[in-house]
Amino acid sequence: MERIKLAIEKAKAAEADSARPDVPLLRKVSDSETPAGESSSAIRREASPGDASSVHYTQTAVVSMDAAHLERHRVVSHQKTHSASWAFDVLRTQVLQKMDENGWRTLAITSPSVESGKTVVAINLAMSIAQQTNRTALLVDFDLRRPSVARYLGLNRSLSLNDFLDGRVNIEEALVNPGVERFVVLPTNHLVTGASEVLSSAKVGNLIGDLRERYSDRIVIFDLPPVLAADDVMTVLPRIDCVLMVVGSGASTQNEVEEAMGRLSKANLLGVVLNKDEAPVQNAYY
């Protein structure tokens, strides 16, 4: 518990220092605006701007998910009756308040070490955000070394970010709506060689910018690898507005947490999620 406390204290200190001058201000994008070089947008809405309550997926493939499969992979936030879904709603509100205050719309999720629960948190948080009728959530699997979003959601589409990176498809064709309103996923089906170089490429830079700017009510969550695993996180973080650190209880040593915090010192750290904690039930997901 001592190292968890330490992580929280450091997160608080980093939070106080979080204003970053180069973060672009919110830009309102009208419904009819189409990013340069792209034929049309993946999500088209019929409601007024700023209201995402009626979203129509005109190009995005829609697939249905299997409830038992989701629960096995700890994807629960769409089930309001599930005992753990409240925790993700609390996290959602904290995250959105902080992001709104700063005009941030893109969020990275990382951890010091492997198996901390990043992907579980990323999926549940994105689905919880999508339940708010004035938001849409896009979850991007940017763990190019160990992609797992598609597996956890049980998606088995052949098209993914891999095809976009290889130049075979437009981004719209790689997006998928897993049957939950206002929730879209950009899955990665296979590991990508040279992950760090790919994440630092102009193509990925343009992609992040495009996903961010297309709709002002969209929150884009990037599931990343552990910050200590390679330089992928350091490479891509300057392109993402803010970051959430997931610390898995027992998954990282105190030194690892400290080193990870150090590597995020230039980023806008929203806070630390304490996952797999063994405290009583009401805190089980923190």
- CB under 8 A, 24+ apart: contacts of 5-11: 6/254, 6/257, 6/258, 7/245, 7/247, 7/257, 7/261, 7/272, 7/274, 8/272, 8/274, 10/257, 10/258, 10/261, 10/272, 11/245, 11/261, 11/269, 11/271, 11/272
Site for ligand ATP in 51-90 (CB under 6 A): 73-74
CB of 74 to ligand ATP, least distance (A): 4
Exactly one of 41, 77, 148, 189 binds ligand ATP (CB under 6 A); which one? 148
- Partner that binds at residue 196, options Mg ion, ligand ATP, none, CB closer than 5 to 8 Å by kind: none
> CA angle, corner 114, sides to 108 and 117, nearest 5?
60
Structure tokens at 183: 């929730």
**Quick check: 218 and 107 in contact, CB under 8 A?**
no
Cβ distance to ligand ATP smaller for residue 42 or 273:
273
Residue 139, strand partner residues: 185, 221
Q: Per CB under 5 A, which of residues 130..149 are in contact with Mg ion?
A: 148
| Chain residues 63-122 in contact with Mg ion, contact rule CB under 5 A | 118-119
DSSP character for 227? T
- Contact stretch for ligand ATP (CB under 6 A) within 21-29, 109-117, 125-133, 204-212: 109-117
Which of 119, 128, 188, 252 binds ligand ATP (CB under 6 A)? It is: 119
Q: Which of 102, 162, 177, 275 binds ligand ATP (CB under 6 A)?
A: 275
Contacts of 138 (CB under 8 A, 6+ apart): 126, 175, 184, 185, 186, 211, 218, 219, 220, 221
Is residue 114 a contact residue for ligand ATP (CB under 6 A)? Answer: yes
Question: How many residues in the shown chain lie near Mg ion by CB under 5 A?
Answer: 3
Residues 214-273 that bind ligand ATP (CB under 6 A): 226
Q: Footprint of Mg ion on this chain (CB under 5 A)? A: 118-119, 148
Q: Footprint of ligand ATP on this chain (CB under 6 A)? A: 73-74, 111, 114-120, 143, 146, 148, 226, 275-276, 285
